[in-house]
């Protein structure tokens, strides 16, 4: 069975965007291609317990095993050596991606403390959107009792649209709670 958000995209969002932007073919309509969740270790890169905790949190949130990102070159000011693990990331595609985005919109964002919407300025030139969360405790899989270490994470939504306006319209129709542009 397909995700609720995927069904909504196929039946409501894609036809609306096709009409809004005047596309001739439904294949031109922007769609969500993948979601990348990323966590940098920062000053805790050598702490094995912290690294294990971050990987466990990413696995619980995404339902997939994270990969560790290694540094490409040494930077002495940051005490980073070439080949050292500096972060973890997970790439989610397909049905699992739509389930994750649905959970993010309807459960996680409302659980964030003092939440007033996400910043609409997080789009890059290709139309991909990046948002960061300061505490992983907003996700329902993570409980405060089991997690004594608090870390933030960054999510990038890769969208097949040609520009920011198309991507913004897609995410807005999906239900992303953008705050007003100031």
What does the pLDDT average to over 50-61?
A: 87
Q: pLDDT tens, 122-136? A: 899 888 999 998 888
Q: What is the pTM of this model?
A: 0.88
Q: What is the pLDDT of residue 145?
A: 64
73/89: higher pLDDT: 89
pLDDT number for residue 182: 58
Phi-psi category of 9—alpha, beta or left, where left has phi over 0 and alpha has psi -120 to 50? alpha
Number of H helices, E strands in the chain: 6, 5
Fold of 30-167: 50s Ribosomal Protein L5; Chain: A, (3.30.1440)
Q: Is the predicted pLDDT of residue 34 greater than 90, yes or no?
A: yes
């Amino acid at each position: 069975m397909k995700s609720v958000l995927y069904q909504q995209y196929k039946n409501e969002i894609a036809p609306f965007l096709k009409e809004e932007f005047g596309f001739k073919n439904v294949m031109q309509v922007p769609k969500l291609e993948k979601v990348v969740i990323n966590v940098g270790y920062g000053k805790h890169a050598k702490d094995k317990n912290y690294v294990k905790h971050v990987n466990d949190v990413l696995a619980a949130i995404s339902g997939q095993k994270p990969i560790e990102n290694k540094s490409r070159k040494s930077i002495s000011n940051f005490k980073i050596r070439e080949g050292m693990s500096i972060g973890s990331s997970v790439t989610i595609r397909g049905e699992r991606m739509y389930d994750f985005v649905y959970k993010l919109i309807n459960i996680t964002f409302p659980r964030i403390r003092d939440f007033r919407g996400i910043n609409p300025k997080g789009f890059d030139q290709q139309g991909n959107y990046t948002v960061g969360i300061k505490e992983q405790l907003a996700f329902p899989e993570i409980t405060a009792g089991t997690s004594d270490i608090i870390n933030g994470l960054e999510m990038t939504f890769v969208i097949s649209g040609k520009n920011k306006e198309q991507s913004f319209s897609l995410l807005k129709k999906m239900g992303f709670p953008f705050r007003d542009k100031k």
